[in-house]
Amino acid sequence: MTEARDDQGAGAVRAGAAATASSRSSGPGRLLIAVYGVFALAATARAGYQIATKFGEAPVAYLLSAVAAVVYIVATVSLARPGARAYRVSVVAVATELIGVVTVGLLSIVDAQAFPSETVWSAFGRGYGFVPLVLPVLGLLWLRRTRPGSASA
């Protein structure tokens, strides 16, 4: 019943998004950034907790936790900000995240001894419902769709 109106609304949003530089934080991007924000929060809290309470136990794993936290924070902020520079930063951050989750995921399974403690990226993010593995893929797809100049040039 309300579909026609809402489709129109979505169309207008899409057209508006293509015309402005901040299209990344619009539509599906809104949800993407929200999920990135949650992971930035979770990874930061976890890394902070691990480093504050038991850094000596597994320094490499906990430093990795901290790296993951920084990557999530940079990704969240750069995705939310308009402009070509923020776009490039977000591509680097999301690509780093993908490489990180695949590398740490593989290592944590192949060489479990080296990664005795859990990080967000351990076992491809199993402890977080594999969201850390899916998120960068969706992120890169979204960034490709909202490439600056691809629609508005």
Partner 1 sequence: MDPFFLIGTLVCAVSALLCIGAALLRQPPNDITILSVAAVELFLLVYGVGAVIRQLTFEPVLGEAWEFWGYLLTALFVPIGAFWWSIVEKTRWSNFVLAAAGLTVFVMLFRMEQIWDGVAGL
Query: Which residues contact partner 1 by CB under 8 A?
Result: 2-3, 6-7, 9-10, 13, 26-31, 33-35, 37-38, 41, 45-46, 49-50, 118
Give the integer Cα–Cα distance in Å for 76 and 70: 10
CB of residue 94 vs partner 1: minimum separation in angstroms? 18
Query: Which is closer to partner 1, CB of 45 or CB of 84?
Result: 45
Give the integer Cα–Cα distance in Å for 77 and 122: 24
Query: Which is closer to partner 1, CB of 38 or CB of 98?
Result: 38
Give the integer Cα–Cα distance in Å for 15 and 152: 10
Query: Which is closer to partner 1, CB of 57 or CB of 88?
Result: 57
CB of residue 10 vs partner 1: minimum separation in angstroms? 7
Instruction: Please give the single-letter amino acid code of residue 142.
Output: W
